[in-house]
Structure 1
Amino acid sequence: MDVKATASRRPHLTTNDTLDAHELVGSIAKDGTASLKPRHNQTTYLQNADTSNSSSSASLTSDEDIEDYDKIKLDPDTIIDGSSGGPLGDTATGSQEEQDLSLKPSRSGVGHIRRQSDTTTRELSPDSRRKSIQVRLEKTDRKGHYTLTANDPDIRDILRKGMEREKASQDPSKRSRTLRDLVFTRQFTTFDRQNPLSAESPFHGFFTLFWLAMVLMFLKVSASNWREHGSIFGGNEVFKIMFGHDVLILGITDGVMVFSSILGFLLQKAIVNNYISWNRSGWIIQNIWQTFFLGSVVWWMFYREWPWSHTIFMVLHTMVFLMKQHSYTFYNGHLSVIYRRRNMLREKLRDLRDTKPSESAPSTPQQAISPAVTSALERVDSNDKKRRPSTYRTSTNLDHETSKVASVAAAMQSGEPLTSDQMQTFQGVIEEEIATLDKELKGKAQSDEKAYPNNLTIGNFADWTILPTLVYELEYPRQERINWWYVLEKSMATFGTMCVMQVISQAYIYPPVAETVRMKEAGMSLEDRAKQMPWIVSDMLFPLLLEQLLSWYVIWECVLNVLAELTCFADRGFYGDWWNSVSWDQYARDWNRPVHNFLLRHVYHSSISAFHLSRGTATFMTFLLSALVHELVMACLFKKVRGYLFTMQLLQMPLVMLSRTKLLKGRDLLGNVVFWIGLFVGPSVLTSFYLLI
């Protein structure tokens, strides 16, 4: 709703609505549940956005300027009003878990949400407002409880960034976490029919047109194949390649690969039982196992000489479970070190409580109080606001620290008598540290039963294995039940789309690929093959683009949603609107959110925290690792290493820098055109290089 558009004709009005309240106030939790109650005081809502004309507009009381609000029903859609584009955490002082809000119904029942603090509510001027953002407020079974569903990516980013910033401001120790803290929220994919914004999109008709065109092309090609070959798949060459060789061996190999990932769970059980330490040998064992895990699967694929269909499935599934193992073990390994430190501090606290305090304070402090006690008291009383190094929170050797806890431990070990006041001060320091560590061990878990190390169960590991995410957390937002009709719908869409892909491959991709094979077998020189490259590229431009789009749809819209529904996984932000990308870094973030989140936590941020790399170097390392993995896939697929995809992946970095220059910065249309040209031409050119050269 455009407030400014109606501002010139709308006076100050006292609103009424079907909720019998002029304002709903309460709090919203991070899972989207809002606890609201009506406020029945008479509140006047200023609809006029021009404050300079407020005095004149207040005098307008004619019947033609007054609208009847009593006849308007409340619509569940709401909009964010009074936001300057920053996170909600900038306008209030709530906790991470709950954000105070005030909901005021207005015209058409569309409400305005604003943040509140305990004492003040910041009202922004009209000039500082950003555009309104739609969210959805739905009733629940509990009276006074509503679910706020943030389907718009803007509001999701605002909520996520607000909670992260507010959490960091209230708990300084969280600012130095070694692992990236990601926020999981309840959301749907863009093309999911459960997403209310999907049906309301002004481009929904083009989505329908695309699938109608795919169906018509499928029918047309299938009819031609049936007339010429007696089969809708034509000569069935692609089908025979996919299902005519080693299918059973492929299934057995995949099962062994999945089952072997349990070694990461067994390693964490050994660590929590103090058989080994994560910092000393645990992470080394895990890295050696991951290297063997990947190398053995790649060797087996080459040994069995699998066709491209078997290879692409196996190598991608192996990479998925490699990332899952890494995230599970490294996050739990990080928590294991914090767990050991907390247990050590608990022992220190018990020792302190068992110590008998001195009956009176010494008369000569310089002689009676040891330097350790004096240093500890100075640290406790100091107002040092520097960030505490993150290594202190994962250290179990207090002798090498300069923290307050280490000074207290040194004072306790000095053997000098402590007064009751000194003991209470030291006890408070240790309890504060323990509380901080307890909070991190609990992570995203809502109860202590799911906090570390209670999460190290075979059930939790099995659940994590099938969840459609690559970043391990102690707990995720879940939906209440499984919609089996939805599972059937997405499963049928999966197989239907794969049939379309099969027809496209057989009719449009297999012929040029077979032609390149014929050239090599005929002994055609490299120069002659290079002359045929433009024609091979042009023949595969449209088929490869369609295959790329359909493959993306099958995996990120169908398969992942089926897994999410079967596991009741509520955060289905598997991708963003990558088709609107204006730069390659935006595309890298949005087209594959699970992998992006993994690289963000376990490569980018881990490089900065563990190896103390700069942000630029960490970004380069992230792109480098991604390029190496992509080239590994191509090496397994074409059985040779050429480095074409590796080079083009690294070229994305200068292209990203180019997008930030005056030539492209701010020119979204031009940036989007450049992006689509690269996505349109790139796969065909790369495939031709690998096939011909």
Structure 2
Amino acid sequence: MEAHEAQSKSFQVVIQDLGEQEGHTFSVDDPELREIIKAGIDRAAGKGYGKGRSRFRDLVFTRQFTTFDRQNPRGAQSPFHGFFTLFWLAMALLLVKIAALNWKNQGSVFGRAEILHLMIDRDLFVLLATDGAMCLSTSLGFLLQKSIANGYLTWDGWGWIIQSVWQVLFTATVIWFSFYREWPWTHTVFIVLHVFVLLMKQHSYGFTNGYLSRVFRRKKLLQEKLGQLESLEPTKSSSPLLSRTSASGADLRRVDTPRHRRRSMGPKFSTDFSSEGSEIALMANAIEAGSPLDASQIQAFTRVIETEMTILNEELRGTSTSPQKAYPHNLTLSDFVDWACLPTLVYEVEYPRQPDINWYYVAEKSAATLGVIWIMIIVSQAYIYPAVMEAVRQRDVLGVPLETRWREFPWLVSDMLFPLLLEQLLAWYVIWECLLNVLAEVTRFADRSFYGEWWNSTSWDQYARDWNRPVHHFLLRHVYHSSISALRLSRLQATFVTFLLSAVVHELLMFCLFKKVRGYLFAMQLAQLPLAALSRTRLLKGRDTLGNVIFWLGLFIGPSVLTALYLVV
């Protein structure tokens, strides 16, 4: 019993309703308690709000580890741990074999190392300087939010326009510069992927704080109305404006009941009482017009406004554990720099943190990052680079007709099947297991659910949710939920918009790499929608093994077919 009480004292639970614009989040330190709270909120949502468009449960920030991390007790005790060991042993033997062949054929264990030379021989320092300039330029979003918080701009005026225009210019400028410098594909992949990451970070920071700025403005307006109420002298006659609402003075005294509170309060972000249809807007207009109010009305109005201000204060506090960190106190340079380094793409006022940094762990994961990148370079050099360069030589140097190149297409696909699958797995591992864990440890970021068990996926929508959770969370909040709340789209329409945006971004990356628009990846991305729908039909529903086989066939064949298409056509 004493141990249980000691553990309970360490629980930290933060629940946040971001309103109609951005959704609802909560965080809790304990995984079991997290599931209990989530289930309770979902049940309450089903009973209290029905099919409302503004109620979403999209994010949970809690302390947890990635599946393959040695700190994860589940990973260390997994019955498949031996296969994990076997995989890396096979990688070591593969590298030995490649080194031996390089020594036999070329007299060097490194071979010709064309890919390594592409990475370091040309414009390496220009690339690093460009990346540094990109990171520094994101501070414009911080300056914009400070201007809004200080009253020089408003988010619903010029604020969101400036933010949106800047995001377009920021992305277009970096992509243009990569074309201007004629960077090799190694540089292009790095800079374009990083610009997309910084774009999403800027968007989440700007639009979350922009929403909070509107909440803050509403709170200030209500503070003014409260001050005006305190200076009013009660009269014997009632305000005629109250006749247009069902809320009498007696009703307003019962504002603490949930049903009446929802009817009295307006949107948390609204700052225009003249167009707002809530009862609190009617009160604000009555106060502004100087309407006669009796003592009971003044008392009821005061109670309603104070209740709403309490709700707004909780909204501004968000996930922070202290009011001193609530908006606008979160708009500091140190907070912005911290946010820029965190391995997440969804901005919150505060996240669960680890108590300290394990620098041995940082060194271990950093070494793993460099080691896996080195393996990827060697595998690409040995198995992918020769096939790619031969396809480019036939197309651009020898001018082989398309009909002839098509006859080589199946052989090109078969040559790249296994190495591209291996490169996919290694690229995923180095980013989501190694690099993000390094950032998480350095920043003491406790929520390390960067991916789910995507290898067990039985449908493509499950894969989309699990293989890259930071991007999935961003799309969920800032595309899917925002499409429903701001554009009034249905859930099906919002799903299509989310996949469409993802498809456009993926095709843009292919355009930057191959310098041409073909739409192959765009089509494959959108094809996930009918495939996801197919997984819910009688043909596949409940047949998990068949669904997983189809998933792995697509992941196995798709990249090599896609790469061959861009090289041949």
Displacement of 1:303: 0.8
2:203 is the alignment partner of 1:334: no
Displacement of 1:242: 1.5
Corresponding residue number in structure 1 for 2:283: 408
Corresponding residue number in structure 1 for 2:168: 291
- Decide whether the 8 Å contact of 2:119 with 2:186 is kept in 1: yes
Corresponding residue number in structure 1 for 2:66: 189
Between the aligned partners of 1:207 and 1:338, the Cα distance in structure 2 is 49
CA 1:573–1:28: 2 relative to 1, 3 Å: farther
Displacement of 1:239: 1.1
Greater relative CO, 1 or 2 (CA 8 Å, sep 6+):
2
Corresponding residue number in structure 2 for 1:513: 388
CA 1:179–1:288: 2 relative to 1, 3 Å: farther
Corresponding residue number in structure 2 for 1:112: none
Structure 1 letter corresponding to 2:124:
V
CA 1:535–1:654: 2 relative to 1, 3 Å: same
Larger Rg: 1
Structure 1 letter corresponding to 2:80:
F
2:524 is the alignment partner of 1:648: yes
CA 1:584–1:529: 2 relative to 1, 3 Å: same
Q: How does 1:415-494 map to 2 (within 5 A)?
A: 415-494=290-369
Corresponding residue number in structure 2 for 1:210: 87
* Richer in helix (by share): 2
- Decide whether the 8 Å contact of 2:507 with 2:521 is kept in 1: yes
Displacement of 1:392: 2.6
Between the aligned partners of 1:179 and 1:616, the Cα distance in structure 2 is 15
Displacement of 1:413: 3.5
Structure 1 letter corresponding to 2:412:
I
Displacement of 1:373: 3.3
Q: How does 1:54-73 map to 2 (within 5 A)?
A: none
Choose which of 238, 262, 267 in structure 2 pairs with 1:369: 238
Q: How does 1:260-409 map to 2 (within 5 A)?
A: 260-358=137-235, 361=236, 368-375=237-244, 378=247, 381=251, 392-409=267-284
Number of equivalenced pairs: 550
Between the aligned partners of 1:266 and 1:391, the Cα distance in structure 2 is 30
Structure 1 letter corresponding to 2:335:
N
CA 1:643–1:168: 2 relative to 1, 3 Å: same
Between the aligned partners of 1:467 and 1:158, the Cα distance in structure 2 is 25
CA shift digits 1:355-413 (9 cap, x unpaired): 1223xx4xxxxxx4342134457266288669669973212121112212112123324
CA 1:596–1:465: 2 relative to 1, 3 Å: same
Give percent identity, aligned residues only. Answer: 57
Corresponding residue number in structure 2 for 1:620: 496
- Decide whether the 8 Å contact of 2:266 with 2:281 is kept in 1: no
CA shift digits 1:137-167 (9 cap, x unpaired): xxxxxxxxxx84x3xxxx5872462364378
- Decide whether the 8 Å contact of 1:177 with 1:390 is kept in 2: no
2:455 is the alignment partner of 1:579: yes
Between the aligned partners of 2:445 and 2:127, the Cα distance in structure 1 is 28
- Decide whether the 8 Å contact of 1:341 with 1:396 is kept in 2: yes
Between the aligned partners of 1:342 and 1:422, the Cα distance in structure 2 is 21
Return 5+ residue gaps in structure 1 as ranges. Answer: 1-18, 34-95, 99-146, 362-367
Displacement of 1:421: 1.6
Please give the root-mean-square deviation of Cα atoms over the aligned residues, in Å: 2.6
2:565 is the alignment partner of 1:689: yes
Displacement of 1:240: 1.2
Between the aligned partners of 1:214 and 1:338, the Cα distance in structure 2 is 54
- Decide whether the 8 Å contact of 1:578 with 1:591 is kept in 2: yes
CA 1:26–1:297: 2 relative to 1, 3 Å: closer
Between the aligned partners of 2:170 and 2:387, the Cα distance in structure 1 is 35
Structure 2 letter corresponding to 1:401:
E
Q: Secondary structure at the match of 1:191?
A: coil
Corresponding residue number in structure 2 for 1:592: 468
Displacement of 1:176: 6.8
Q: Which moved more, 1:591-600 or 1:349-358?
A: 349-358
CA 1:218–1:157: 2 relative to 1, 3 Å: farther
2:238 is the alignment partner of 1:238: no
Q: Secondary structure at the match of 1:609?
A: helix
